[in-house]
Amino acid sequence: GISFFPLLCFSFDPETPTDRRVLVLLDDFSLKSSHSIFFNSLKSRGFDLEFKLADDPTLSLRRYGQYLYDALILFSPSTERFGGSLDLTAVLDFVDSGHDLIIAVDASASDLIKNIATECGVDFDEDSSAMVIDHKSYAISGTEGDHTLIASDDFIQSDVILGKTKIKAPVIFKGIAHSVNAANNLVYEKSGNEQFVTEISKWVFHERGHLKAVNLKHHKVGETDEPAIYRIKDDLKFSVEIYEWSGESWEPYVADDVQVQFYMMSPYVLKTLSTDGKGLYHASFKVPDVYGVFQFKVDYLRLGYTSLSLSKQIPVRPFRHNEYERFITTAFPYYGASFTTMAGFFIFSILYLYNK
């Protein structure tokens, strides 16, 4: 049997976080039954799977400028060339346009599949017979081996990627394969592979970990309308709403590490946003004593979550001539010097005129 390694390429469409139409390309239709647990898991979660051979001459990802599918699964490692209008460029354009991709690879991976993986940030050894060896985390079995059968439970610490239910059994890995044929005498009676792949697929297909930000607002303290321009030293309030897709609906996202920058060439203000626990994040601060064109910027990167990058431009002006204080506190020494000079000149004049 053929064993596979899932290669995950992550992209997203902010308007449809849980995409449902999935095209599955196979080397052989027998893979549909040999990997039925994985496919049935997707179907049970509401995904509409369409199975086709990788060399099907009718293959196409888009028609009349519109994509026909929301995600693509390639279980065709040995395919040298796709059928129809599908090729390397079409797959990469599909991902870049905000869709999801899972690739399954074995030791016989073709140059086409390797090139797709490389473009997604994963490289494979040019020697297809090269095996991963781990002398520390190898699987213990009744057969003496060369430590190429690896049992690992050292997973990434992220509930959003692997779910809140702990994967108790180790994931079994051999070479670049993801699973081992059931007839192989090195197979563990129980492994965490099924749960691992299921949880990873939930993350890839945006059933969790998908964020969106809406209603970015700012205004002067004590007002509600958004101004067209601020003045230096104005007190302002900034707010934005952030939500997380739960798989069925948008729920408030709660975190304590979301920050806003008041930015012009570099951040003049960096403020951690407070949250009300209902999705609203807010902060108040004073406009710096520098005028120019600023931006409110929120760049949020957190492990396992889609990134947020928001910006809104706003100009800042100096005081007008009639907005300065009548007497500036910092100028008091100069005021004192002026009056002292006048008083000294007056005393000198009196002494000079009337002193004999």
Number of helices (H), then strands (E), belonging to the chain: the values are: 7, 19
Residue ranges covered by each domain of the chain:
5-204, 210-317
| Mean per-residue pLDDT, 214-232 | 92
8 Å CB contact between 214 and 301 = no
Half-sphere exposure of 206 (CA within 13 A, CB side): 27
pLDDT single digits (tens) 268-326: 999 999 999 899 999 999 999 999 999 999 999 988 888 899 999 999 999 887 777 77
Q: What are the phi and psi torsion angles at 333 (to 5°)?
A: -60, -35
145-149, 339-343, 346-350: range with highest mean pLDDT? 339-343
Give the whole-number percent of the chain exceeding pLDDT 70. 83
pLDDT at residue 257 in the model? 92
User: 210-317 in CATH: which number?
Assistant: 2.60.40.1930
Residue 26: CB partners within 8 Å, gap ≥ 6? 32, 51, 52, 53, 54, 75, 76
Say which residue the tokens 């060339």 belong to: 81
Does the pLDDT value for residue 128 go beyond 80? no
pLDDT at residue 141 in the model? 60
Q: Give the whole-angstrom CA distance, residue 159 versus residue 200.
A: 11
8 Å CB contact between 154 and 134 = no
Q: Give the whole-angstrom CA distance, residue 48 versus residue 211.
A: 23
pLDDT at residue 10 in the model? 47
Half-sphere exposure of 15 (CA within 13 A, CB side): 2
